[in-house]
Structure 1
Amino acid sequence: MDTVIKLTDVSLKRDGHWLLRDINWHIKKHENWVLYGLNGAGKTALLNMLCAYYFPTIGNVTVLGSVFGRDYLAEELRKKIGIVSARLQQKLYPADTAYEIVLSGAFASIGLYDKPTEAMRQKAIDLLKDLHCLEYADRAYETLSQGERQRILIARALMANPELLILDEPTTGLDFLARERLLEALTSINRWENAPTLLYVTHHVEEILPIFTHTLLLKKGNVFATGKTEDVIQTKNLSELFDCEVIVKWENGRATLRKK
């Protein structure tokens, strides 16, 4: 399957308001994407649609081979998608250990109620090692730093071998070092055999890694620009996106942004 996500002429109306209009977007396998836009641009609405929480009002949506409204089951589709988000973090039980939270990802449950197999336990340990979390595996989630919590959420999301991993502003609240450690972890994951397609949601260009091959700019519910990241994240595009003159500079595969 070459297509991971395909949206064709998609619009979304909720409570009498158009949240998304005329979205056309095609993500192919072996591409990693950034979804970039200011607060209120429609990023959350778009993610909710990709995860089958919203149906398009107009248009066609295909995610991981499932055509919305025809041949998919929402719960089955969601099992193929790993999500790291602030909303998920708020639902977790703070007294659970980091190891228990990672294990719960095998069952897509909040809390660990089923008995994990030995293979699941070993996979959780391997993920904790890979993401440099093993040293605090037995600590309660509530005692971890924000950076440690985010890496645990990534490990949890990877427990079910997702085909698509969505990271919704995962560096919110992190200091510089914690942010860079998390971004390094994503670079490492991308090297794995059968690595999931990554969709990284942000409004900070400094977080856009070289592994993110393509970018979609979203403005007021519309696609503002889309294409290869280094072509899209440029001074002209972002000045028009923000309605404010800014300067984008690229160095060593990373961009910086400042007001002109």
Structure 2
Amino acid sequence: MTSAPPAAAPVPPVLDVVGARVTRGGRDLVHDVSLRVGAGEHWALIGPNGAGKTTLLTLCGALGHPTAGTVEVLGRRLGRVELSELRRQIGHVDPRHRMAGDNSVREVVLTGLTGSSDPVPRWSPTDEQEARVVDLVAGVGLSSRLSARWSVLSQGERGRVLIARALVAQPALLLLDEPATGLDVAAREHLLDTVDDLRTAHPEMASVTVTHHLEDLPSSTSHALLLRDGEVVATGTADEVLTSDLVSGAFDHPLVIDRVEGRWTARARRR
């Protein structure tokens, strides 16, 4: 009799936040929040200003520790791992990214390998890394801007450069902190198309996007977590969570949520 092959070991989550609480100045910014993100899942953190979205994203990016609860990023628990090394394995897109110099697109993308805001003196990329920068810049539609300086880029171009920067180290986890901030409609749509394309090109990569505008979510969003006053209102698949009733409760305002051709819209409910 042939014995059955051993069962495959369960795949660990890319991100596992369990009962997290963050307290500052005697006030809980998030309280008893849990979030489990698997490979290839694309989560949205939704909620009004002050709901705790940025605080939770800080934990996801290994930029801070919880006051209580546990946070495991890429299989390593915060508090038991050297953070700077872990952060280099996480892609982070923040439209408020600052740098000291007026760097070129190529230089900005390369800083994703060094985890620095500006080019590191006496550090040189390999030929393979240079080729990856060229490919990524092409992938976000900016091949002709490879040598352009940051100061001459539009806000939309900067957003796409930051996506390339976040991907250059081939992260398993990509964090997007309100990536459409400051963009006009055309630039926002170009950015979201870029995000959808990269998720297709990197099917194993997981992502977490923070926003309080449902219109800023790409159609590839698979899951969502609603926050209000630092606590979870709902969590699950995007279609289960992003409903009129649940979003209205999170924002304390009567809203109608629709999804058309994969994208969400929100409008006030007529009384």
TM-score of the aligned structures, taking structure 1 as reference length: 0.95
Count of paired positions = 257
**Offset from partner CA, 1:58-114 (integer Å, 9 cap, x none):** 1111111001223x2111210110111134x2x224521111111221211222221
C-alpha separation in 2, matches of 1:19 and 1:85: 21
Task: Within 5 Å, give how 1:135-146 maps onto structure 2.
Answer: 135-146=144-155
Aligned to 1:18: 28
**Offset from partner CA, 1:12-56 (integer Å, 9 cap, x none):** 111221111011211111211001111111111111122223211
Identity %: 37
SS, match of residue 86 in structure 1? coil
Determine if the alignment matches structure 1 residue 79 to structure 2 residue 78: no
Aligned pair partner of 1:192 in 196, 201, 207 = 201
Aligned to 1:167: 176
Q: CA deviation at 1:215?
A: 0.2
Determine if the alignment matches structure 1 residue 257 to structure 2 residue 244: no
Maintained 8 Å contact 2:109/2:164: yes
Q: Which moved more, 1:224-233 or 1:248-257?
A: 248-257
C-alpha separation in 1, matches of 2:170 and 2:102: 25
One-letter amino acid matched to 1:6 = D
C-alpha separation in 2, matches of 1:86 and 1:132: 18
Q: CA deviation at 1:195?
A: 4.5
Aligned to 1:212: 221
SS, match of residue 11 in structure 1? strand
Aligned to 1:132: 141
SS, match of residue 59 in structure 2? helix
Aligned to 2:12: 2
Q: Which moved more, 1:229-238 or 1:52-61?
A: 52-61
Maintained 8 Å contact 2:106/2:146: yes
Task: Within 5 Å, give how 1:30-49 maps onto structure 2.
Answer: 30-49=40-59
Aligned to 2:212: 203
Aligned to 2:115: 108
SS, match of residue 99 in structure 1? helix
Cα RMSD after superposing both structures = 1.3
**Offset from partner CA, 1:121-153 (integer Å, 9 cap, x none):** 111000011110111111110110000001001
One-letter amino acid matched to 1:248 = I
Maintained 8 Å contact 2:101/2:118: no
Aligned pair partner of 1:92 in 90, 99, 103 = 99
One-letter amino acid matched to 2:67 = T
C-alpha separation in 1, matches of 2:76 and 2:92: 18
Aligned pair partner of 1:242 in 241, 251, 254 = 251
Aligned pair partner of 2:39 in 19, 29, 35 = 29
Aligned to 1:67: 77
Q: Which moved more, 1:220-229 or 1:11-20?
A: 11-20
C-alpha separation in 1, matches of 2:112 and 2:27: 35
Q: Which runs of 5+ in 2 are unaligned?
A: 1-10
C-alpha separation in 1, matches of 2:244 and 2:101: 43
Q: Which runs of 5+ in 1 are unaligned?
A: none
Maintained 8 Å contact 2:29/2:230: yes
Aligned to 1:120: 129
Segments of 4+ in structure 1 off by > 3 A?
none
C-alpha separation in 1, matches of 2:202 and 2:35: 26
TM-score of the aligned structures, taking structure 2 as reference length: 0.91
C-alpha separation in 2, matches of 1:139 and 1:92: 15
Maintained 8 Å contact 1:94/1:142: no
